[in-house]
Structure 1
Amino acid sequence: MHSTLRRAGGFAVVGTLALAAPVLNGAAFAPFVAVALFAAFVITDGPLFELFARPGDRQDGRLNGLAGFALAAAGLAILVTVMDLPVDLFVAAVLVLAYGNLGAQFVAESSDDPFLGTAGFVFGGFLAGIGGQAAVASFVGDAILLPRFAFLAAAAALVAALVREVLFEQDDPLVMLSTGLLLWLFDLLADAVAPVEIAVALVVTVALGYVSYALGTASVAGMLTGVLLGLLTIVFGGFAWFVVLISFFAIGGLSAKFKYDAKKERGVAEDNDGARGTGNVLGNAAVALVAVVLFAASPWLPVEANVFQFAFAGSLAAAMSDTLSSEIGGLYDNPRLITTFETVSPGTDGGVTWQGELAGVAGAGVVSAFAYLLFPGVTLAGAAVVLVGGVVGMTADSLLGATIEGDRIGNEAVNFTATVVGALVSTVVALAVLV
């Protein structure tokens, strides 16, 4: 057994101390504070030091990694007392990270494939998250709600895996705190989770995530982001919302691969062989995620729930419109700068072709059609509003590209702004004309 796997096992044992939280109540932080103190000041050599030491720890002569892990767990435990963070969510957040790391290292013993390593982390964290919640519920006498536990464990495992992938895989304190706080939010927003709903959601989102990675339309981080977005969209919105979301991911992802070699020769192809990373996925879908979260929170907001359907669809219409406009329009010569109409080189920010603009309108039309067919609050006139919002968002993207994109603002930020414009236009017009 390699030292990294043994170390992960040691961290998993430390993380298991979280299961004592229901017994310790307000003192749930105490075991982790003790571990942090021993790691920082007492264990400086010997077998325990060698078990837990990371490369940087040996240089410092101190178990910084273990101390940081334990202090993050202690911090979450304090939130249980002072801010009423549910005990089962605290336990789940700690165990997801501890056993997720163990799962990743177990896979690493036989494979260095990044997808398999991530799958090992998510699967190990998922099982530990369910087990931790069930153990707490059993101890305190609450009902064991496996569908809800499965949703929260899956969401926590995906969040933790994503933060590790995007930032740094050994930054345990940030991963644990981020996971715990987001898990708290998800728990507040999720209504009763039906067994069939969560089972289908997990199977569908994981399968589509794997397909996107296998086809090269998403990186590992992009795949994780897409799966998490899909899961949250199904649970907070429903399958209709998910179909609208996946229409963008599927068509947008395939359009990036369409005639990729020709676009590469012209210098207009996406980096990383067209595989979309987290920045690209969030730049295009973050507004949609906010819309579905607000939809779930609508019982506590002074706004009609169907308003968020227009924000959701309008943002994705803008994202689809902009994506197809760029991916299809980049294949044609003589693009013109949208601000001056002068001819520019292919790939110039803000350069448009009539073929790309037509493809963009068609992309917005696809999203608006799905919204009309699937959202009860979107009539035929509402679909037209979504279409307008998408086209305006695409135009805003081109204008920003021609004026400020470059040194001052990146492509992901421009994409995000375009989706904000699409959401706002769709929502404001719907409120003014349809409500």
Structure 2
Amino acid sequence: MLRRVRRASVFAAVAALAVLAPALDTAAAVPFFAVAGGAFFGVRDGEWFETLALPGDREAERLYGLVSFALAGAGLALFASLPRAPLPYEAFAAATLAVGAGRLGRTLVSRRTTDEFPLVAGYVVVGTAAALVGQIAVRLQTGAPVDAETVSLLVFLAAAAALTAALIRSLVFSRDAHITTALVAFVTWGFIALEPTVEAPLIAAGLAVTGALGYVSFAIGTASVAGMLTGVVSALLAVVLGGVGWFLTLMSFYAVGGLASKYRFDEKADRGVAQENEGARGTGNVLANSAIALAAVVGYAAAPHLAVPAAPFGFVFAGATATAMADTLSSEIGGLYDGPRLVTTLRRVDPGTDGAVTWQGELAGFSGAVLVGALAAGGSPILDPVVPGGVAAGGAVAAAGVAGMTVDSLLGALIEGDRVGNQTVNFLATLGGAVAAVALWTAV
């Protein structure tokens, strides 16, 4: 265990070299190249090799893990230090420290527990803190302001970087820190380019609520670790880039949909219609239902920079979310009843058949769509609504959710199978609901 802590500490120290980038300017990549060269040519055996070696390094007798991480830092440093470089130093520092220090945080927590949630929390908390400190240090060197408003933005960027790093790590790149670093750097750069206005109370409340809901979803088994991280990232983006109304609308789907998956789960499992993985939704499932909505959030934040109207993005977001809610409730509730009928022919089929519907499921789906419509259009004057237009706009969203739910059933009956999976169908259905919401909005 001590070796793992030392190894993680070295990775964190290498990541901290990113803080020197503004001072070194065009030579910012030199320390990273020095680390890579020293690790590759100078450490081939002995205690330090055994300490720093990742799985696979011992067979190759090279510290490829550390070398790759250092080279990723060098590449990003070069990109950030070029004249008129588009990659901000803040994004470079936030990414490298979120990954390097996050790894150290996870390792330190692993000395006390092997439970996955505390390990992820250690990664995110330490990664966020280090990314925040790194960004502040960079701005102090460049003369950029570090006031209360700026710090709120930097907290958001640091948290987004650490959460994104944890998510990528949990999916495919647990040992490939160099790939994670590069991806997080460009994601953070994108958030900086949006120039979001981040208020301190909003970011504090957003982080607290999303973190708490993430824990609850994992604890009660409605989401896997990766699914939980995806949901937390999505909710954080919704509240910061959209607003409280966007956050509440999205969270209604996560909360109600997750509880519906666990409702009478054993009975649904006996009938063969239960959500796989004991009802815990993974990243694929979360993104299939939320990708369109998240794209709309980003589009809404980018609208002022692109000189395009923002209102359509609200209807895309609400229509996709209403579809996801309606489809989830119709499946989870409708699967408990006998006598489902295929949506295309209305003939009776077995429960769980793709494209099968029941009147109870349709009613539940309609109720879910109405709930999302009410949340998206309501809230005034306390909250800014997701969609302008009051009751008419809420009705358009609800109708779009029902339309998207119907699209899901039709696609399930017509194309879902070996080549087209449920997640693809869900994505297409939410896209259909988003298009329907915009079309209905333009018609009223």
Q: Same fold (TM over 0.5)?
A: yes
Select 1:125's aligned residue among 124, 127, 131: 127
Say yes or no: does 1:46 pair with 2:46.
Answer: yes
Deviations 1:106-160, CA, capped at 9 Å, x for gaps? 0111100000100010011011001101111122222222211110000000000
Q: Give 1:16 shift.
A: 1.5
Q: Which amino acid aligns with 2:394?
A: A
The aligned counterpart of 1:258 is 263
Q: Give 1:302 shift.
A: 4.4
The aligned counterpart of 1:350 is 355
Q: Which amino acid aligns with 1:165?
A: S
Q: Please tell me whether the aligned partners of residues 173 and 179 of structure 2 are also in contact (alpha carbons under 8 angstroms).
A: no
Give me the identity figure in percent. 51
The aligned counterpart of 1:240 is 245
Say yes or no: does 1:412 pair with 2:423.
Answer: yes
Q: Give 1:353 shift.
A: 1.0
Q: Please tell me whether the aligned partners of residues 88 and 137 of structure 1 are also in contact (alpha carbons under 8 angstroms).
A: yes
Q: Give 1:81 shift.
A: 2.9
Say yes or no: does 1:33 pair with 2:38.
Answer: no
Q: Please tell me whether the aligned partners of residues 340 and 351 of structure 2 are also in contact (alpha carbons under 8 angstroms).
A: yes
SS at match of 2:56: helix
Q: Which amino acid aligns with 1:62?
A: R
Q: Which region of structure 1 is more displaced relative to structure 2, 77-86 or 205-214?
A: 77-86
Q: Give 1:406 shift.
A: 1.8
Distance in 1 (CA, whole Å) between partners of 2:389 and 2:313 is 11
Select 1:321's aligned residue among 323, 326, 334: 326
The aligned counterpart of 1:272 is 277
The aligned counterpart of 1:402 is 413
- Structure 1 segment 5-404 matched on structure 2, within 5 A: 5-82=5-82, 83-144=85-146, 145-374=150-379, 375=385, 377-404=388-415
Distance in 1 (CA, whole Å) between partners of 2:189 and 2:9 is 27
Query: Which ranges of structure 2 fall in alignment gaps of 5 or more residues?
Result: 380-384
Deviations 1:305-352, CA, capped at 9 Å, x for gaps? 111111110000100010001000000112111122221111111111
Q: Please tell me whether the aligned partners of residues 190 and 236 of structure 1 are also in contact (alpha carbons under 8 angstroms).
A: no
Q: Which amino acid aligns with 2:251?
A: I
Distance in 1 (CA, whole Å) between partners of 2:14 and 2:194 is 30
Query: Which ranges of structure 1 fall in alignment gaps of 5 or more residues?
Result: none
Q: Which region of structure 1 is more displaced relative to structure 2, 371-380 or 414-423?
A: 371-380
SS at match of 1:55: coil
Q: Give 1:400 shift.
A: 1.1
Distance in 2 (CA, whole Å) between partners of 1:234 and 1:79 is 31
SS at match of 1:304: coil
Q: Please tell me whether the aligned partners of residues 371 and 378 of structure 1 are also in contact (alpha carbons under 8 angstroms).
A: no
Distance in 2 (CA, whole Å) between partners of 1:288 and 1:378 is 19
SS at match of 2:378: helix
- How many residue pairs align between the two structures? 433
SS at match of 1:347: coil
Q: Please tell me whether the aligned partners of residues 151 and 198 of structure 1 are also in contact (alpha carbons under 8 angstroms).
A: yes
Q: Give 1:53 shift.
A: 0.7
Q: Which 4+ residue blocks in structure 1 deviate beyond 4 angstroms?
A: none
Q: Give 1:168 shift.
A: 2.8
Q: Please tell me whether the aligned partners of residues 21 and 81 of structure 2 are also in contact (alpha carbons under 8 angstroms).
A: no
Distance in 1 (CA, whole Å) between partners of 2:38 and 2:6 is 19
Deviations 1:30-69, CA, capped at 9 Å, x for gaps? 2112222232333211233222111310100111101111
Distance 1:378 1:244, change over 3 A: farther
Distance in 2 (CA, whole Å) between partners of 1:227 and 1:378 is 29
Distance in 1 (CA, whole Å) between partners of 2:340 and 2:209 is 39
Q: Which region of structure 1 is more displaced relative to structure 2, 41-50 or 155-164?
A: 41-50
Q: Which amino acid aligns with 1:339?
A: T
RMSD, aligned α-carbons: 1.3
SS at match of 2:352: coil
Q: Which amino acid aligns with 1:151?
A: F
Distance in 1 (CA, whole Å) between partners of 2:303 and 2:424 is 27
Deviations 1:274-319, CA, capped at 9 Å, x for gaps? 1111111111111111111100011123432111111110000100
Q: Please tell me whether the aligned partners of residues 357 and 409 of structure 2 are also in contact (alpha carbons under 8 angstroms).
A: yes
TM norm structure 2: 0.95
Q: Please tell me whether the aligned partners of residues 253 and 325 of structure 2 are also in contact (alpha carbons under 8 angstroms).
A: yes
Q: Please tell me whether the aligned partners of residues 190 and 235 of structure 1 are also in contact (alpha carbons under 8 angstroms).
A: no
